[in-house]
Amino acid sequence: MPCPSSCPPGLLALMAPGLALMATFSLPSQAGDRRALPVEKPPGVKGRTLILLDVNTKSPVRIISENFLSLQLDPSIIHDGWLDFLSSRNGAACRAELSLPQVPTGGERGVGQVFRALRSPDFQPCAGGRARLQLRWAPPAVRSGRGLEALGRPESPLPAGSRRLVTLARGLAPAFLRFAGKRTDFLQFHNVKNPAKSRGGPGPDYYLKNYEDARSLDKLYNFADCSGLHLIFALNALRRNPNNSWNSSNALSLLKYSASKKYNISWELGNEPNNYRTLIGRSVNGSQLGKDYIQLRSLLQLIRTYSRANLYGPNIGRPRKNVIALLEGFMKVAGSTVDAVTWQHYYIDGRVAKVTDFLKTRLLDTLSDQIRKIQKVVNTYAPGKKIWLEGVGATSAGGMNNLSDSYAAGFLWLNTLGLLASQGIDVVVRHSFLDHGHNHLVDQNFNPLPDYWLSLLYKRLIGPKVLAIHVAGLQRKPRPGRVIRDKLRIYAHCTSYHNHNYVRGSITLYIINLHRSRKKIKLAGTLRDKIVHQYLLQPYGKDGLHSKSVQLNGQPLAMVDDGTLPELKPRPLRAGRTLVIPPLTMSFYVVKNVNALACRYR
């Protein structure tokens, strides 16, 4: 209360600090919001936390690949019989329409594909007559006697499951499809017209010998081609000569066959070479592995179709001390030979994982340390070389049912995408699209899991340009994405150019709230008073974080039919409205008509 002019001078002197403090809190904030920033209250005092968020719209901090989010198929699909569900021998019908709300167009060097929709009332993707299903292990729907019509029968036309898988894969295009895994280094290629007959039929030995024939490669390539994916094939690196050099004879047969078919494929050699001693009792050091890659590059240059094909590697495991030594040896010899340096990462041992593990910020941050280690080695020997995380999943050991395939696993997956993009990793390959354990995006009944829907939203809304964010509020350090004890993570990109619902210059935020309470975000600066479209992804059903179904803005997500993905409808928010982030959720927010300079041009 103001003091009368008759107040003694001594009393005015005592009141001066308090009056100055009141004046400070009445000043408008520099972020553009007329209200003052919140003041941290003493413990036990309840109050709302309002976070002010702005984005640097002048220039991107990173530009990642158009194929940033890519997919992996494990070679176990040959052993388990799933390859028969990918496609038949003839890919002539791939040009038919898949009834998607949006079909992305474009690609990058090495992809050479443009995806357009052509109408066809009787679409059967990759259907070329009768598809013989030589399965030794049936999916649960077949074993239980349910879903036989959807999965197909022996000697029937192409199963509807194939069309469904193409629809799901095509929703995530453009992307790479990496065919690799633990069985990569035990696959043998033989170009035999009827391999099952020549080897005595498709009995147990047929699959246990990891035999791969030309028809298997045809089906794999046709599936990738139908889905708008660029195939990356990992060759067997464990065929070794007595002097421990790579024996390339079998790989050369495969290269010649695929070249005769004019298949557009990129290549790798082996999978996790740091584990070879465990697998076969024989190790391959980094220097020798580098020489093997140089040998493979020479083979590719001898074959006209692949003289300019991309080559990726060495696909090492977690960068511990011995693995870093292997990578250094490889980079010294073959750093200039590969088009990108690759490694793998799995967060948790799937045998001991708990749902609470997926909410730990310490676990989410383990990837940052690995990125720094890999970047340090690569920049030492090949500055500027692209780096890929090739093979990532929530849990190792195949994952855990109702956990690594549940809604809870999405926190790790979305944070992985945001963290990798912000730190300049060019591509991340998700292991696996189908079948491998419980880390997959699509289950054994061909139903999309929560991480699939999360990936679909990411593909539809997120462009390759990464933007820096500025946050004011309660935080430990002023770093993007690490606000309020790291449990509220915020990332920003230019909105995807392929999404024609939004004009160029729009911005997409994606937010992970690991708090058990809701958080409020006020858009400031260039984002202030703009219309926002909300895409809030929450678990659906009574299982909570364990749920394998999700809802978007309160509506459950499910395929319309085998050839149609659902429309992803946003919830419009009025201009200037505060964003309310529910607890334990993931969400995307498209800020429309920002006219961001960084996002106007490709």
Secondary structure, 3-state, 154-190: CCCECCHHHHHHHHHHHCCCCEEEEECCCCHHHCEEE
Give pLDDT, residue 534.
98
Residue 26 has pLDDT above 50, yes or no: no
Asked if 417 contacts 458 with a C-beta cutoff of 8 angstroms, the reply is yes
**pLDDT number for residue 193:** 53
Q: Which residues pair with 92 in a beta bridge?
A: none
- CA–CA gap between residue 476 and residue 464 (Å, rounded): 29
pLDDT at 361 over 80: yes
Average pLDDT of the chain to the nearest whole number = 78
pLDDT at 156 over 70: no
Share of the chain above pLDDT 70, in %: 71
Region 34-43: what's the mean pLDDT? Answer: 37
Confidence of residue 397 (pLDDT cuts 50, 70, 90): low
Q: Which helix (H) or strand (E) holds 222?
A: helix 214-227
**pLDDT for position 108:** 35
Which residues, in sequence order, are CB contacts of 202 under 8 Å at separation 6+? 134, 136, 196
The predicted model gives 55-78 an average pLDDT of 94
> Per-residue confidence at 81, pLDDT binned at 50, 70, 90?
low
pLDDT of 578 higher than 70: yes
Rounded to 5 degrees, what are φ and ψ at 18? -65, -40
Within 10 angstroms of residue 464's Cβ, the number of other Cβ atoms is 20
Whether the per-residue pLDDT at 595 is higher than 70: the answer is yes
Residue 144 has pLDDT above 90, yes or no: no
Check residue 62 and give its pLDDT: 96
Higher pLDDT, 399 or 494: 494
Q: What is the pLDDT of residues 177-209, one digit of tens each?
A: 999 988 888 888 887 654 444 444 333 333 334
Q: Contact 89/159 with Cβ under 8 angstroms?
A: no
Mean local confidence (pLDDT), 573-602: 95
Is the model's pLDDT at 474 over the cut of 80? no
Evaluate whether 292 touches 336 at the Cβ level (below 8 Å).
no
Query: Can you tell me the mean pLDDT for 528-554?
Result: 96
Residue 261 confidence (pLDDT): 95
Beta bridge mates, 348: 395
Is residue 352 predicted with pLDDT exceeding 80? no
Res. 441: pLDDT tops 80:
yes
pLDDT over threshold 50, residue 264: yes
